[in-house]
Amino acid sequence: AIQMTQSPSSLSASVGDRVTITCRASQDIRNDLGWYQQKSGKAPNLLIYTTSKLQNGVPSRFSGSGSGTEFTLTITGLQPEDFATYYCLQDYNRPKTFGQGTKVEIK
Amino acid sequence: QLQLQESGPGLVRPSETLSLTCTVSGGSIRSSSHYWAWIRQSPEKGLEWIGTIYFTGTTYYNPSLRVTISIDTSTNQFSLKLTSVTAADTALYYCARERAGAIEYWGQGTLVTVSS
């Protein structure tokens, strides 16, 4: 199975900050990567698919980039509602595999 | 608005079979554009993709798990069976709808504990 490694595992940031989360794949996954946000007690919520496509209804402060084995989720202008845990998911082949998560906390 | 709801026992004995059902409402499970998935989450393993099924019955499984997924288009439900469970199978189990490139709808999740 493809291994997905996220970094950092946690970070502290302030409202208005620019935040970057990285996900690395153990092999080339082209652009078959998505990002999910999970708030406490809730199911994950799709933010971005196919590396950079914003899901309907997701604010434009979220963006994704990358290809091959390295991918990035950027939040430009962090808002209070963005404090959550973020996961990447490779959709290149099955079994689909998630990163271990990045918890974004309030500084 | 599509909704998915998991149901099943919250407690399963070790070595027995875990069985869960997902009921889909607000849309047809016979969609040609989507797959129906099971995903679980635990503190030890994080988010783990279990497997997926198409309305025709085509399945894809995580080879590390002892799992069977079935679908009933007449009731708009799909189901999960995980055999010979151990404490390591204790997790929050989600059902979800997949489309190409994304898992776009999730159930609220159901906690299953494996314990004697």
Per DSSP, what are the bridge partners of residue A12? A105
Residues in Cβ contact with B53 at an 8 Å cutoff, skipping those fewer than 6 apart? B35, B36, B37, B59, B60, B69, B70, B71, B78
Q: Does A34 touch chain B (CB under 8 A)?
A: yes
- In chain A, which residues have their Cβ closer than 8 Å to the Cβ of B22? none
Torsion angle of alpha carbons A9, A54, A84, B25, nearest 10°? -120
End-to-end C-alpha distance for chain B, whole angstroms:
39
Nearest CA in chain B to A101: B46
Which of A52, A96, A100, A103 is the mutation pick for testing B, counting most B CBs within 10 A? A96
Q: Do B101 and A46 touch (CB under 8 A)?
A: no
Checking DSSP bridges between strand B3-7 and strand B59-61, what pairing results, if any?
unpaired
DSSP bridge pairs for A74: A20, A63
Q: In Å, how far are A54, B10, B14, B62 from A94, measured between CA atoms?
A: 23, 28, 28, 7
Backbone angles phi, psi at B56, to 5 degrees: -80, -10
- The pLDDT tens digits for A45-79 are 999 999 999 999 999 999 999 999 999 999 999 99
How much of chain A exceeds pLDDT 70, in percent? 100
Q: CB neighbours (10 Å) of residue A79?
A: 11
Report yes or no: A23 at the B interface, CB cutoff 8 Å.
no
pLDDT at B100: 86
Contacts of residue B43, defined as CB under 8 A and 6 or more positions apart, other chains included, come to none
The whole-number pLDDT of residue A105 equals 96
Using a CB–CB cutoff of 8 Å, tell me whether B16 touches chain A: no
| A107 CA: distance to closest CA in chain B (Å) | 24
- Give the residues of chain B that fall short of pLDDT 50: none
**Please, which pLDDT band fits residue A38 given cuts at 50, 70 and 90?**
very high
How many Å apart are CA A99 and CA A89, to the nearest integer? 6
Neighbouring CB atoms inside 10 A of A43's CB total 20
In B, minimum Cα distance to A43 occurs at: B108
Give the model's pLDDT for residue B98. 96
- Taking Cα atoms as reference points, which of B34, B16, B33 lies closest to residue B96? B34
Q: How far is A21 from chain B (nearest CA, A)?
A: 17
Q: Which residues numbered 39-68 in A keep a CB inside 8 Å of some CB on B?
A: 42-46, 49-50, 53, 55
User: For A19-32, what is the mean pLDDT?
Assistant: 98
Q: What is the pLDDT of residue B101?
A: 85
